[in-house]
Amino acid sequence: MKMPKLKTGAGPYLIASAGLGLAGIAAFIWIFARNFNIYWLILSPVIITLYELPAVFAFRLYRKKRAAEAERGEAGEPALGPDRS
């Protein structure tokens, strides 16, 4: 299966999103896994969510830029909407 080429300028946002996501998980493990107890177990979903917010923001920018370029007809691949069939 061929991977689609990123002909749009949105590629850096996708790469930043993946990098920030991995960095958020790594930061959570580095800070909290050493001293893990029941309080961190209860609060961990909130903490991980806070660390993943930059990745979500970068991914949102990627999707917006890709959709805008697809609307103008510049995208190399079609933008997928809610109906992905």
pTM over 0.85: no
C-alpha distances in Å from residue 41, one per residue of 23, 32, 36, 49, 51 = 20, 10, 7, 14, 16
Q: What's the CA gap between 32 and 37, in Å, rounded?
A: 9
Residue 5 pLDDT more than 70?
no
Q: Are 79 and 7 in contact (CB under 8 A)?
A: no
Q: Are 66 and 8 in contact (CB under 8 A)?
A: yes
Residue 76 pLDDT more than 50?
yes
Q: What would the pLDDT profile of 16-65 be if each residue is shown by its tens digit? A: 888 888 888 888 888 877 787 888 778 888 888 888 888 888 888 888 88
Give residue 85's pLDDT: 47
Q: What's the CA gap between 46 and 52, in Å, rounded?
A: 10
Give residue 82's pLDDT: 60
14 vs 76: which has the higher pLDDT: 14
